[in-house]
Amino acid sequence: MFSVQYYNSEQIYSTLSSIFGFRSFRPHQEEIVQAILKGRDVFAVMPTGGGKSLCYQLPARLMKGVCVVVSPLISLMKDQVDAARINGLSAATLNSTISAEEKNAVGTALRQNRLDLLYISPERFNSEYFINRLKTLQISFFAIDEAHCISEWGHDFRPDYLALSKIVHEFPSIPVTAFTATATPRVTEDIVARLCLRNPHLTHASFNRPNLFYRVMMKQEFDAQLRSFLAGHNGESGIIYRNSRKKVEATAEMLQTYGISAKPYHAGMSDVDRHASQEAFSRDECSIIVATIAFGMGIDKSNVRFVVHADLPKNIEGYYQETGRAGRDGEPAECLLFFGRQDIAQQLRFVDEIEEEHAREIAKEQLRQMVRFAEQNNCRRIALLKYFGETFPVQNCNSCDVCVDSQKQEDATIPAQKTLSAIYRTKESFGAIHLADILVGANTEKIRQFRHDQLPTYGVGKDKSKNYWRAVIDALIAQKIVAIEDPLRPILKLTEEARLILRGQKTFSMRKPPERISAETKMNRISNTKIPSYEVKPFSEPLFVKLRELRTELARAENVPPYIVFSDRTLHEIARYFPRNAQEFQQIHGVGHHKYAAYGQRFLEVINKFCEQNPDAVKSLQNHQPFEQNYETSLQSASSSQSTSSSQSTPSIQSASFLETYRLLHQGKTIDEIVTERQLTRGTIISHLEKLSESGMELSVDLFFVPERLAQIKEWFRASGETLFLKPAVEASGGKLDFDEARLARIFLRKSSSVNQE
């Protein structure tokens, strides 16, 4: 369909390393890049932090012409352009905020074919003048970001995006690619249809974000709960979402009163004030932004360490999208949802304001799904992934509150019987709040109205607090002993399991509820909980602080957010491996040639000075190598190219990723298991094995092939002309051998003299 130029792997990986500072692709990135380079339409669903921008920026660098990127917000465009430029890409934007002089400069660069990327807003495609102007340019492909905005079934439909359906008709010879972080199968079909994509390459990456820890907490004493949570994240960047402007202002003021650096953000603020809040947060000048959901899409900040939903989100897709703002750099982050049943009523009021009946019913069903997620007592990761049609392979994710809750289970059969009796005696016609009032013997108008103060169960639980009985009811609901037919009208119904407990034929246990005074204690306990499945490898905290200070200084000088200079992950690696020269520094994740040229020497000065002043700190970190001690010899062998005294005194950074693959192999893991655990592609893992073999490390052929299979592959290589070229061997197999297996076999066949070397 399209004119295609061939790009070999060397060009692709060289660009990946020199521009972006990465040595390998994340899952699905490589296949998407290859599809774009082959001129195919693409639709990709990849989680926030999964590396969507690289999927179109890398091909844009290689292909002739400009990649036109459609982005929803001006503020987001600016950050994306700044980040691209600092990586060494030629990027610009056309929007209403730039001056006439800047517009002329962009126009000149476009006519002279000097831009890799041009960022524009979707509404520009409503302009016939702009479309005709684009037709005069050499365009490599279109990239549509936040593509879910075109679907009315998506959680953030934007009418402006409907104009993008014109692209294929107006530019029939140019590929179109679309990216989003959230799309159910139904939304996916809608996006592909509305954009008129032509036999697109489809990618649905895993929605699993292994570095995120999910937690739900019943909202009781919210201000105290929130402050205690933040005490465990002192100095870290975070977002607090609230569902009204009034709550945003109140929470921001409360935090400021307690000396916590926080700014408000909502649509009712002036453009100037809203922009100032976002800029302060983006540039690490304030730690916390308190915002309505109007905030988020316009931020590309990579070092957000927590996201708090202080009120119930209206749907799971929005919740997932908003929690996805955390941990974009791949480092551990926490997502906390405060859940109170009063939030349901408020969200229902929002839903009832929707005029169109069909849209109103969709919103109600989405809210029901959100309530079920908050109430459940099963792994939250499993539930979240199930919503998007994905199955999590284990029953315990070890990184959500349900799976790691350390509170002991206690027998609560008698409290359960009291609660179930109250439900039965009120004819299964009331909700949790009223039933808790009955159990504690409250004197409310509703109790008097229905004469529930005459029931045998009235006041039977007055020795406990109302919060305790709410916890019992929540546990009964979560364990499906009590049913709620409609989460939005939470009337409690008895199940057969409930009747067994009432008759004493079955016991009931639950996590021990917190004491009345435990809001702060409980939150401190939570703040100190480690994320067991995603621990940060040791690094020098004092050096990290100095690196962060330098990053802030450099960012201010260039008027960009600090994370655009280097991510927290990059600074963590520097503070872990102490690179002492240019060669070592450029082996750090996220350090490309352009960034090294711009910042490398300044960072090396700080590193070398720190190492000279703190030799014990450097030495102590050697005791925390990310490899087992019995791989010490392998590590030294693989890093034999390091010859300076400074590099010999620090952990290897060139071979770290390769050695981690080697370690996992010797634990008995298969390649597929390593792919899943390390969140890398199969091709990347095989590349590690090639490098390890080249460095002299022994790999056992028995881990990968039975003798008969390797012999057959050997024959296919022979049939292709006594060489070790992959494509002829794959073709000779007649579809029985793929490129990955051929590469793997070649590692061992290279040691055989019966097949010529390349």
The answer to whether domain 212-402 and domain 541-624 are alike in fold is no
* CA–CA distance, 556 with 478 (Å, rounded to integer): 49
List C-alpha distances in Å: 6 to 64, 603, 633, 695. 12, 38, 41, 31
Can you read off the two tokens belonging to residue 341? 């049943």
Which pLDDT does position 445 carry in this prediction?
92
Cβ–Cβ under 8 Å, residues 403 and 420:
no
**Helix (H) or strand (E) segment spanning residue 117:** strand 117-120
List C-alpha distances in Å: 514 to 431, 519, 635. 22, 8, 49
Q: E strands of 201-303, at which residues?
A: 201-204, 212-218, 237-241, 262-265, 288-291
Cβ–Cβ under 8 Å, residues 323 and 304:
no
Q: E strands of 267-387, at which residues?
A: 288-291, 304-309, 333-339
Which residues are bridge partners to 533 per DSSP? Answer: none
Cβ–Cβ under 8 Å, residues 12 and 62:
yes
CATH fold of 409-511 reads: Arc Repressor Mutant, subunit A (1.10.10)
* CA–CA distance, 171 with 159 (Å, rounded to integer): 21
* CA–CA distance, 141 with 197 (Å, rounded to integer): 13
Residue spans of the domains in the chain: they are 9-204, 212-402, 409-511, 541-624, 664-749
Q: Which amino acid is at 661?
A: T
Which residues are bridge partners to 339 per DSSP? Answer: 218
Length of the chain: 758
Which pLDDT does position 722 carry in this prediction?
54
Which pLDDT does position 521 carry in this prediction?
43
As a CATH number, domain 541-624 is 1.10.150.80
Q: Domain spanning 9-204: which CATH class is it, in words?
A: alpha beta
List C-alpha distances in Å: 191 to 211, 267, 388. 29, 27, 16
Q: Are strands 176-180 and 139-144 parallel, antiparallel or unpaired?
A: parallel
> Rounded to 5 degrees, what are φ and ψ at 442?
-70, 155
| Residue 254: exposure state from Cβ atoms within 10 A (0-12, 13-18, ≥19) | middle
As a CATH number, domain 664-749 is 1.10.10
Cβ–Cβ under 8 Å, residues 308 and 317:
no
Cβ–Cβ under 8 Å, residues 367 and 314:
yes
Q: What is the mean pLDDT of each run of 10 residues along the chain (758 residues)?
A: 64 88 85 92 85 93 94 80 91 87 91 93 88 93 91 72 90 94 82 92 87 90 91 90 93 94 91 87 91 69 92 90 88 92 83 84 88 84 88 84 69 93 93 91 93 94 88 83 79 91 90 51 43 61 93 92 90 90 87 91 94 78 40 36 36 54 76 77 80 73 83 83 72 82 85 48
3-state secondary structure of 510: strand
Q: E strands of 292-353, at which residues?
A: 304-309, 333-339
Q: DSSP letter at 163?
A: G
Pick the CATH number of 212-402 from 3.40.50.970, 1.20.1250.20, 3.30.413.10, 3.40.50.300: 3.40.50.300
